[in-house]
Chains A and B, each alone.
Chain A
């Protein structure tokens, strides 16, 4: 149902795109408009999908991760610090860029590890554990540069967002790679089975010998690392790191995409493809409403009701 809806949306979108003049007569224009609309949407949606996949895994264990937006801000803030700082002068730009792409993701994974340890070792409720990082994390990101914007121009770093191999933005490849990897994890590995088992019935999973603590911790680490990747992409798109805005409300977008995609927040199921489609749906609705001149605020309201409808129908199908 969602797929059909998406296709209709893309179609409407194209008929509303100004560059397209006469549909049907000029097929090249049509194709270009389609490609443009798709590329705009995929570019925008990639970060939501990347974070949403991590969220889906966390939600599948029965947890939730509110910290992703803050972790994005931290990762996004660290990268320019590395390639704008002394490391670039000392060891050259290549090393700096390599570090700028790896260190922030490692730090983000570290925050994920912190979330995971709070949930498993200290037995905080997931929503509280990640709320701690949500509140404190953005502060840490802002403290790193005292809240200032870091503008930069670094084409090789920005390739992760502005590169166009085969005409498709790099982050779309990253997005699909993350989705495929997560699909493989959930469907083909023992780890995926463990995730679903823990979400389904944690006690039973523990009694069956599932290493519950380790699996749960790892799931938060994955979510943190993916948030880190998304944070880097946002920074690369904007050519500036803004700790105040990077990843703002991302946790809500990601959770909405997860829920719309058919992963129940109670855990035990992980619908990775659903999350991809859910994020696309949310993004397409937003984009098409804005492109036909509906004010952003009203698009927010409509978006809310689309989510309501999607979640409602999901629930009906499940019941």
Chain B
């Protein structure tokens, strides 16, 4: 393909939505692997594998990773990383359990709000203080896990001591086993219920990824995010609000982790601070498996969804192998997962180094300026 033809393509908005939002070049490969793995599982294990029950369970479980991976995709596109999502998710699950007495919507709103604020704090450290993303989110990673661990004590001991006038029943936390129970008299757990036979988390995932794809592919914010990741200095010189964009992506990541926490609490019925260990790396590896490079500047939301589904399917199949009499301990599973991650990244590495890099250089200036020209004329 000649260079002018490429520029022609880059100027067509539909193409851009496809490239950045829906089907990035490398995500086609992941999609094919996904189909292959699914077909393999279906052939080997039959209807217990592709039946509705297994798929529903698998998807609801992976919806938590899907939310975290969606948020962290935006962060990774700016060239950053968010290690704090697992801790934020577990802290959110504690908060959601405590807020569950107010009913689903207030609990959801308050939890996601707090999680977003924590994400905003990450963004502030990265954008304003100039601390490297890895370290900044590592700090939040530690602090949020510590707060989650101490949350039962806060609700059961410290807050009652601080407000002696409030009746003790109000604080309602079980400090003995370090958990916070969910108020089952309220409708909180209906978030993991079903509408027309489809679990609500799955619907939420579809909606969230659709919004995410449109935001990344079409909106001014999405184009700015890609631009900041592509070349931060140039974006700054062009007058993009780099600090605000960075704060926004980390806030999104925090909010998504909060949503994952709400689902975690609702699924398990009791919020435990020891849940969700290592989930941040699982979410990040889903993003990587989807084909988004950690260097930033490119990436696709739907590719991330493929990555989440692929890792989820592989994990599911490993469970099936285990149940099928061939004893594959949980330890072997993590070995297999490591090898699988290696293979997927290996498959993508010639793709991204040989095929993608020359085209990226010729594409990006065109597509970025396309993303900005309507905004410049509009404002």
Contact = CB atoms under 8 A, between A and B. Distances in A.
A163 to B, nearest CB: 32
Contact of A256 (B135, B284, B330): B135
Interface string B274-308: 00000001001100100001110000000000000
A231 interface: no
A264 B133 CA distance: 12
B276 to A, nearest CB: 14
A13 B25 CA distance: 58
Interface in A119-162: 122-125, 127-128, 131-140, 142-143, 146-147
B134 A147 contact: no
A225 interface: no
Nearest to B125: A308
Given A134-B338, A252-B142, 4 more contacts: A124-B349, A135-B341, A297-B146, A300-B143
A256 B330 CA distance: 30
A128 B294 contact: yes
A308 B125 CA distance: 9
Given A132-B341, A135-B337, A304 B142 contact: yes
Contacts of A295: 150, 153
Interface of A: 64, 66, 118, 122-125, 127-128, 131-140, 142-143, 146-147, 252, 255-256, 259, 264-266, 295-301, 303-305, 307-308, 311-312, 315, 319
Contacts of A301: 142-143, 146-147, 150
A312 B129 contact: yes
A187 B129 CA distance: 31
B132 A139 contact: no
A139 B284 contact: no
Interface centre among B293, B341, B342 (most CB of A within 10 A): B342
Contact of A300 (B145, B285, B294): B145
Instruction: Give the interface residue-count category, chain B.
Output: 35 or more
Nearest to B142: A304
Contacts of B281: 66, 131, 134-135
A135 B338 contact: yes
A265 B245 CA distance: 22
5 contacts: A135-B338, A143-B331, A259-B132, A297-B147, A297-B153
Interface string B323-358: 000000111111111110110011001000100000
Nearest to B134: A265
B143 A139 contact: no
B33 interface: no
Nearest to A67: B338
B86 to A, nearest CB: 12
Nearest to B149: A297
A133 B338 contact: yes
A302 B138 CA distance: 13
B139 A138 contact: no
B331 A266 contact: no
B135 A146 contact: no
Given A266-B132, A301-B142, A303-B142, A139 B293 contact: no
Contacts of A135: 281, 285, 334, 337-338, 341
B146 A139 contact: no
A139 B335 contact: yes
Most B CB contacts (10 A, CB to CB) among A134, A265, A308 go to A308
Contact of A64 (B134, B141, B284, B346): B134
Nearest to A138: B334
Contact of B139 (A118, A123, A308, A315): A308
A37 B328 CA distance: 46
Contacts of A133: 338
B140 interface: yes
Contacts of A132: 338-339, 341-342, 345
